[in-house]
C-alpha cells in the first residue's frame, strides 16, 4: 500500500527525531507507525524504531519479527519515501558499539558467548538506555562518510511509556560507577545533546480518560523539568461525535421525545416495542455520559499548552488499511 500524500505544511519541520511516549496501551506503537507513514508521504526516508522487544511494529505492518537491522516495511508512492523499521536491543547495540568503537568484532562475539554482554547490561540499567538511544543517535547522524549506511530524513522512536520516559532519555544522569567516565560517558553526552536539541520532539499519546490525561500532564511537566523538548499531544481513539448539544442533553436528562423516536423507528421499518425503545434510550444515555466525560478531558488536554491532534477510534481495531487512514489523518492535521 502506498503512503498517503500530504498537502499542507507540517508542524515540526526542523525536527528529525520524533519520540512517541504515552500511558501504556493508549496507542504509542500505532501512532508511531502512522507518524512514520505520514512523514514518508512527504518524500522522507523514515526509520521507525522500537526498543522494548515487543515486536509491535512487525505486527502492525504484518511482517515477520524485526531483527536488529533496518528492513523496509512500507514503500512510498511516486514522490513519497519509504519506511524502514528495526527493533533495537541493548545486547546487539553493545556488540555493534564494541565493533565500531574498538574494532573488537571478534572479542565482542566472544563476550557474547560467555554471557558477559547480558551481565554487563543487567548490572547497569543506565548503560542499557545509552546503548538503545545510542543506536538511534547513530542512525540520526549518518552522512556520506558512513559508507553504505542509509541516511534518514526522519526517525520515529516508539519509546517506553510516560512513567519511564524521562529516566530513559536522561541518559547521562543515570550512569553509575565505571560508566561515569570513558567512552560510555562521552556517548551519553552526545546522545543527550541530540535529545535536548531542536532536532528532537517528544510527543505524548493519550485517550480521553482521566488517568491517561493526568499522566500526560505529569509527563509534560517532567520532560520540561528535565530540559527535554515536548512536541504535541495525540489524542487517540476518539469516538464519533454525531450528536449535537441539545440531543446529548435530552439523552442525559431523560427528556428525549419518546413518541418521535418510536415514529422514526417505525418509519425506518423497525417495530418499536417498549423493550427496544428503553434499551436504545439507556444506550443513548451511556453514550452521552461518556461524551461528557470525554469533553471534560479534552478541555484539560487543550490547557496543556501544546499542539494537539486527534485520531479516530477505528471500529474493529487497526489493520494495515486502518494504519494508512490514521497516517492520512495525521498529515491533514499537520503532524508529520
Ligand atoms: N485509533 C485506534 N482505533 C482503534 N484501535 C486502536 C487505535 N489505536 C490503537 N488501537 C488498538 O489499541 C491497542 C493498543 O495499541 P498500541 O499497541 O499501539 O498501544 P501501546 O501504547 O503501544 O501499548 P503498549 O503500552 O502495550 O506498548 C491495540 O490493539 C491497537 O490496535
Ligand atoms: Mg507499544
Cβ–ligand 1 contact at 27 (below 6 Å): yes
Residue written as grid cell 508511531:
32
User: How much is the pLDDT for 53?
Assistant: 87
What value does the CA radius of gyration of the chain take, rounded to a whole number of Å? 24
* pLDDT above 60: residue 289: yes
Best mutation site among 19, 21, 25 for ligand 1 pocket (most ligand atoms within 8 Å of CB):
25
What mean pLDDT comes out for the span 37-58?
Answer: 94
Q: Cell triple for residue 231?
A: 512536541
Neighbours of 218 (CB within 10 A): 12
Q: Kindly state whether residues 307 and 229 are assigned to the same domain.
A: yes
The verdict on the CB of residue 313 being under 6 Å from ligand 1 is yes
Both 162 and 257 in one domain: the answer is no
Do 108 and 230 sit in the same domain of this protein?
yes
What is the reported pLDDT for 108?
64
Place of cell 442525559: 252
Verify that 170 and 196 share a domain, yes or no.
Answer: yes
Nearest bound ligand to the CA of residue 33: 1
If asked whether residues 174 and 59 sit together in one domain, one would say yes
How do strand 200-206 and strand 17-22 relate by DSSP bridges? parallel
The predicted structure's pLDDT at residue 44? 94
User: What's the rounded mean pLDDT across residues 53-76?
Assistant: 92
Ligand with an atom nearest the CA of residue 329: 1
Hey, whose CA ends up nearest to atom 25 of ligand 1? 24
If asked whether residues 229 and 256 sit together in one domain, one would say no
Does residue 179 have a pLDDT over 70? no
Residue ID of nearest Cα to ligand 1 atom 15? 27
Has residue 5 been placed in a domain? no
Q: Provide the pLDDT for residue 31.
A: 98
HSE-CB for 224 with a 13 A CA cutoff:
12
Pairing of strands 230-238, 308-312: parallel
Substitution candidate for ligand 1 out of 19, 23, 26, 30 with most atoms within 8 A of CB? 30
d(CA 240, CA 311): 10
Q: CA 159 to CA 88: how far, in whole Å?
A: 11
Whether residue 105 is contained in a domain is answered as yes
Interior CA angle at 242 toward 239 and 244, to 5°?
A: 120
25 lies in a domain? yes
Other CB atoms within a 10 A radius of the CB of residue 320 amount to: 12
- Residue 220 shares a structural domain with residue 283: no
pLDDT at residue 144, rounded to an integer: 66
Alpha helix stretches (DSSP H) within 51-145: 56-61, 90-102, 105-113, 116-123, 125-140
Note whether 106 and 114 are within 8 A (CB).
no
48 phi-psi bin (left φ>0, alpha ψ -120 to 50, beta other): beta
Q: What is the CATH number of the domain that holds 85?
A: 3.40.50.300
Above 60 in pLDDT, residue 5? Answer: no
Is 60 exceeded by the pLDDT of residue 178? Answer: no
H-helix or E-strand containing 215? helix 210-225
Same-domain check for residues 228 and 138: yes
At 7-43, the pLDDT tens digits run: 567 899 899 999 999 999 999 999 999 999 999 999 9
Chain centroid to Cα 284, Å, comes to 32
Rounded Cα–Cα distance for residues 199 and 16 (Å) = 5
Please state which of the ranges 51-60, 170-179, 274-283, 286-295 shows the lowest mean pLDDT. 170-179
In a domain, 74, yes or no: yes
Tell me, in angstroms, the distance from the centre of ligand 1 to residue 186's CA. Answer: 36
Q: Give the distance from CA 307 to its chain's centroid.
A: 15
Has residue 111 got a pLDDT over 70? Answer: no
pLDDT in tens, 207-242: 999 999 999 999 999 999 999 999 999 999 998 887
Q: Specify if 293 maps to a domain.
A: no
Rounded Cα–Cα distance for residues 184 and 296 (Å): 46
Q: How many folded domains does the chain comprise?
A: 2
Q: Compute φ and ψ for 313, nearest 5 degrees.
A: -70, 120
Which ligand has the nearest atom to the CA of 205? 1
Is pLDDT above 90 for 202? yes
User: Is 224 a member of any domain?
Assistant: yes
Identify the domain containing residue 134 by its residue range: 17-243+302-333
For residue 75, is it within any domain? yes
| Domain presence at residue 185 | yes
Residues 99 and 59 reside in one and the same domain: yes
Both 192 and 106 in a single domain?
Answer: yes
Question: What's the pLDDT at 200?
Answer: 98
Mutate to test the pocket of ligand 1, among 23, 29, 316 (most ligand atoms within 8 A of CB): 29
- Atom of ligand 1 at shortest distance to CA of 318? 31
Please work out whether the CB of residue 29 comes within 6 Å of at least one atom of ligand 1. Answer: yes
Minimal-distance CA residue to ligand 1 atom 8: 27
Q: Are residues 180 and 317 in the same domain?
A: yes
Cβ of 237 closer than 6 Å to ligand 1, yes or no, is yes
Average pLDDT across the chain, whole number: 88
Residue 321 sits in the same domain as residue 277: no
Q: Which of 58, 57, 50, 41 is nearest to 20 (CA)?
A: 50
Confidence (pLDDT) at 223: 97
Q: For residue range 267-279, what is the model confidence (pLDDT) as tens digits?
A: 999 888 899 999 9
C-alpha of residue 139 to centroid of ligand 1, in Å? 26
Banded pLDDT at 185 (limits 50, 70, 90): confident
Amino acid at each position: 500500500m502506498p503512503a498517503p500524500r500530504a498537502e499542507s505544511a507540517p508542524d515540526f519541520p526542523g525536527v528529525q527525531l520524533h519520540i512517541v511516549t504515552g500511558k501504556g496501551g493508549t496507542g504509542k506503537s500505532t501512532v508511531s507507525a502512522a507518524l512514520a507513514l505520514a512523514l514518508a508521504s512527504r518524500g522522507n526516508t523514515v526509520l521507525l524504531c522500537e526498543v522494548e522487544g515487543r515486536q509491535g511494529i512487525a505486527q502492525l505492518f504484518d511482517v515477520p519479527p524485526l531483527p536488529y537491522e533496518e528492513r523496509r516495511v512500507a514503500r512510498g508512492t511516486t514522490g513519497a519515501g519509504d519506511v524502514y523499521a528495526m527493533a533495537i536491543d541493548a545486547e546487539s547495540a553493545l556488540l555493534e558499539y564494541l565493533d565500531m568503537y574498538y574494532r573488537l568484532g571478534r572479542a565482542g562475539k566472544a563476550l557474547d558467548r560467555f554471557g558477559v554482554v547480558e551481565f554487563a547490561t543487567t548490572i547497569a540499567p543506565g548503560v542499557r538506555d545509552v546503548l538503545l538511544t545510542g543506536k538511534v543517535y547513530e542512525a540520526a547522524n549518518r552522512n556520506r562518510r558512513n559508507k553504505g549506511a542509509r541516511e534518514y530524513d526522519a526517525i520515529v522512536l516508539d519509546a517506553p511509556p510516560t512513567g519511564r520516559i524521562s529516566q530513559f532519555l536522561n541518559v547521562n544522569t543515570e550512569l553509575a560507577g565505571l560508566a561515569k567516565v570513558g567512552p560510555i560517558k562521552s556517548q551519553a553526552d552526545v546522545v543527550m545533546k541530540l535529545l535536548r536539541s531542536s532536532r528532537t520532539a517528544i510527543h505524548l499519546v493519550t485517550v480521553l480518560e482521566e488517568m491517561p490525561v493526568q499522566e500526560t500532564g505529569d509527563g509534560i511537566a517532567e520532560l520540561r523539568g528535565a530540559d527535554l523538548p515536548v512536541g504535541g499531544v495525540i489524542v487517540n481513539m476518539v469516538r464519533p461525535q454525531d450528536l449535537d448539544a441539545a440531543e446529548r442533553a435530552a439523552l442525559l436528562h431523560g427528556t428525549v421525545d419518546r413518541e418521535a423516536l418510536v415514529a422514526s423507528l417505525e418509519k425506518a421499518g423497525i417495530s418499536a416495542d417498549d423493550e427496544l425503545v428503553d434499551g436504545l434510550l439507556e444506550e443513548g444515555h451511556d453514550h452521552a455520559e461518556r461524551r461528557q466525560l470525554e469533553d471534560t478531558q479534552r478541555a484539560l488536554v487543550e490547557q496543556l499548552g501544546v499542539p494537539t491532534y486527534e485520531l479516530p477510534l477505528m471500529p474493529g481495531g487497526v489493520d494495515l488499511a486502518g494504519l494508512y487512514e490514521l497516517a492520512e489523518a495525521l498529515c491533514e492535521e499537520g503532524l508529520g
